[in-house]
Amino acid sequence: LLRRPAKRLGLSVPTVTAEPAQSKPPSTPQAAAKPPKPEQVQTETQPARFGRLADCALKGERIVCPDRQFKLALNQPNRALAPGVLEDQNRLGLRPFQGGRSDEQQVRAYLSNAYDRYIPKMLAIGLGANTMSFTAFHNAFHTLEDGGVDFAERMERTYQLLKKDKLNLAVQARYHDRLPEKLALCEAINFEIIVCDNVATNWVFVSRSR
């Protein structure tokens, strides 16, 4: 489902069946790593907040932390979605990048914030199993911007097409049975969502309270 609107807009989506060695990482590995955030300085009573997973355990389709559990997000049928999420007024809402493309720290900060909005927005329309990895997100930004295309605008158009396709096309709950091999591949983007990826495959885990 993700590939249809992406292809129409010229946005490349990584193959979920590819092995990590076949994927093409950014030219500088540090570019794909999300930068630390001020929120990462948390108390010890919140180990799963904003990237702190040291006290958590990866158990197949669950991530178990002292204060809560996270379950692998699957694609959801439209009847399970909140009212109005597939309507035109629900927008991805990424702000345009206005910094210097040569300032990698500025680019990473922008993409980190954009990605932290993108993941919940994909969950909202029931496409938790169709998300891009942060590396793919990063690569799409540079590919589009290098071609003179506004990344935020193109992602918005893709999101709108995904919603239209979701209204008319059935989706599989998941497309493979692979799971992340280790917790080191994971990062909490907020208190309710953990994202794991091995570059080729992306997994989203959500807390039961979500």
Give 8-55 pLDDT, tens digit per residue. Answer: 444 545 444 333 333 333 333 333 445 444 333 333 333 333 456 888
Average pLDDT of span 183-194? 94
pLDDT band at 3 (very low <50, low <70, confident <90, very high): low
Q: φ, ψ for residue 69 (rounded to 5)?
A: -115, 150
pLDDT in tens, 123-178: 999 999 999 999 999 999 999 999 999 999 999 999 999 999 999 998 999 999 99
pLDDT of 205 strictly over 80: yes
Average pLDDT of span 67-76? 95
Neighbours of 209 (CB within 10 A): 8
